[in-house]
Amino acid sequence: YGLQVACPYPDMATTFGRLMEDSGHEFDFIDLNCGCPVESICKYGVGAGMLDSPNKIGAVSQALSAATSRPVTIKVRTGRKEGGESLHKWLHQIDKWGIAAWTIHGRSRQQRYTKLANWDYVAQCALDAPIPTIGNGDVFQWEEFQAHMEQHNVQTTLLGRGVLIKPWLLTEIKEQRIWDISATERFDILKTFVSNGMDHWGTDARGL
């Protein structure tokens, strides 16, 4: 279980890391969000708004890593614009930032979720990166997961929309099979999800 934070300044990262250390909450890692393409986020210099400032990403990552005993990761996109990939220009620095791994979403900030993810670029960066790489983008079938693991130099993949659309995708990947799930089974999964949310939050006023 991980926490994700969007943070533009090292001192804020330090404060967040220390607060989480002292909170008593159980979590396994903290991820620095450098990949959200939404303009209302990017305009504050966080999310994918950090991609043009790798030194800033490094400074915030180092501060966060120094403030927590848990591993720190970052999630990025390929660059600001389609055809303007930039990660390869600075990936050689990232092993000095105190991060355990990085996740690359194979789209630019401009693309958001349109067109297909550029897995060839993910593979190039994963091959050259000095730390483990997690790939992300367009994994909707267990066969796609397996293909990326075999062909694109990644240690694993991050699942996003795939598990929102198919919560049973994790089972498909684990068991390496297509699960032709019935409508009743789908509804049971939805009921379990809502029930777990109510148990955790105690009300439907916070997102359910």
Q: What are the residue numbers of the active site?
A: 36
Count the residues in the chain: 208
Return d(Cα 89, Cα 188) in angstroms, integer. 47
End-to-end CA distance of the chain: 20
Return d(Cα 17, Cα 159) in angstroms, integer. 25
| Structure tokens given for 135 | 């790939």
